[in-house]
Amino acid sequence: MLIFKTTLRFIGFALLGIFLLMSFSALIAFLNGRDGSLYPLLISAGITLVIALACVLGTKPNRRIDLKTGFSIVTGCWVAACFFGALPFVLYGHEFTFVNALFESVSGFTTTGASILNDIEAVPKGLLFWRVATSWIGGIGVVSLVSIVVSSRNDSHSQLAGMELSSIAKEYYSGRRRQFIYRILVVYVGLTLISIYALHLAGMSWFDAGTHAMSACSTCGFSTKNLSVAAFNSPTVEAILCVSMLLAGINFSLIFSTFWPSGPNRKNLFNTKIVRVFLGAVLLGILCMTLNLLMTKTYSTFGEAFRVASFQMCSISTTTGFATADTNLWPAFSKGVIIIGSLICGCSGSTSGGIKIDRVWFALIGTSEMVKTLAHPNKHDYVRMDGITKTEDEVSSVISFIMLYLLIVVVGMVVYTLCGMDFQTGLSASIACVGNVGPGFGVIGSLGNYAGLSDFLKVFSTVLMLLGRLEIYPILIVIRNIFMKDS
């Protein structure tokens, strides 16, 4: 009962944040001539506020939060945010049935960027902003923001923010959890504001610049246009978004240390191997796709092929999902590169989803060391990179996570294909949802959407999105705690 009440209290704080964002979205609707989303947003904000206050005022603070309670709070806050986030869509109606509204809300909060909308430009601006706002708050983490609001300087509540992040995400920073979250927030807000201004200078309206910058920095990929970024047909806009997406795919603590260094040995973007590995992998993917697109005559000039390959690789490898081309028309090799990018993705400690390049790199190095140990039993080297040491058990834990992740992808692919999808579409849909990427191939391609899926597959997709966003274990632990008693 104590776990339930504590979880309920934190859900209340999370809903207060949702209320504020709904209210701001309603203001956007009001300034846009009281468009059709004004009353759905105001009513949703009112309902959310009442429930939030009931949760907060009807429960007492609990300063001692164990792991079991912590995982319950994290999962509860995310699920509640997704359900209440669907309210404006449901009340607006049109394409938004309850299932469609829930799908759009979960897709936003998990920064997946998949959509059920066939005509995005027909949706009122207030609701379009709310759609992007869900992704922006989801990028920084619902519980991370709650932890900052409710915790005092020495409060153990700040440990909750760490439960949204894997341990590997915090390896480049040692200090108080609260300071760690502040660092992430400073970088996140700063990157968003700089991106907004740059996009506006490139010719976008303030509304389009704001929504696309928020979407890029949260690596979500929600756009206000039916053709996504292709609608602007601007190399400058694409270049700015590429930089924003790549920075959003890098560990935020490293970005902070780069511009606000403290201590002579602090890691930053320029002396960290994992960042070089990530950027090198993105560059390799761009070159491979450019050559493939030229050799297959998909594009006639090097400049054109390089432009579309660069944007799509930056978008997919950071799990953003913006599009400037229909990748369904691309050759098989380029599609393969996109699928690999959708699996591995950006760095831990960023807003990117996927397995994360850190885990893949540590797994590769760790496996290599294990092979050496088998060949020379008396010699054993720990895995080290950027001054971080990984023991054999830690490497095994990373490999286990990757195997579990891939198992979920396979299960997802089986479900999609059993429900009528072809193999390529089913596999890409599973990878896109678990990795919070968004677009796949077939009907859910870069310029397609998920509107044609059955209600069952849409709900199934939301489960995969949440599993991927919370990195699997928190949800599995909560399910275990619900259905199994501790021995």
450 secondary structure, DSSP code: S
Three-state DSSP class for residue 219: coil
Separation between Cα atoms, residue 141 and residue 162, nearest integer Å: 10
Whole-number pLDDT of residue 264 = 53
Alpha helices in 110-223 (DSSP H): 125-140, 142-150, 159-163, 177-201, 206-217
Separation between Cα atoms, residue 276 and residue 267, nearest integer Å: 13
Write the pLDDT tens digit of every residue in 290-300: 999 999 999 99
Question: Per-residue confidence at 383, pLDDT binned at 50, 70, 90?
Answer: low
* Residue 33: its H or E element: none
Q: Would you say 474 and 71 are in contact if contact means Cβ atoms under 8 Å apart?
A: yes
109-to-118, 133, 406 alpha-carbon distances in Å: 20, 9, 23
Write the pLDDT tens digit of every residue in 238-267: 999 999 999 999 988 888 888 887 655 567
Whole-number pLDDT of residue 154 = 43
Write the pLDDT tens digit of every residue in 221-235: 999 999 999 999 999
Three-state DSSP class for residue 385: strand
Write the pLDDT tens digit of every residue in 173-197: 555 566 777 778 889 999 999 999 9
- Site of tokens 């935020």: 252
Neighbour-count burial for 352-365, b at 16+ CB within 10 Å, e otherwise: bbbbbbbbbbbbeb
21-25, 54-58, 146-150, 424-428, range with the lowest pLDDT: 146-150
Separation between Cα atoms, residue 81 and residue 12, nearest integer Å: 10
Separation between Cα atoms, residue 305 and residue 301, nearest integer Å: 6
Name the β-bridge partners of 383.
390
Q: Output 270 or 46, whichever has higher pLDDT.
A: 46
Looking at every residue in the chain, the average pLDDT score rounds to 87
Separation between Cα atoms, residue 280 and residue 102, nearest integer Å: 37
Question: Per-residue confidence at 153, pLDDT binned at 50, 70, 90?
Answer: very low
22: pLDDT strictly greater than 60 = yes
| Number of neighbouring beta carbons within 10 Å of residue 84 | 22
Write the pLDDT tens digit of every residue in 309-360: 999 999 999 999 999 999 999 999 999 999 999 999 888 888 898 999 988 9
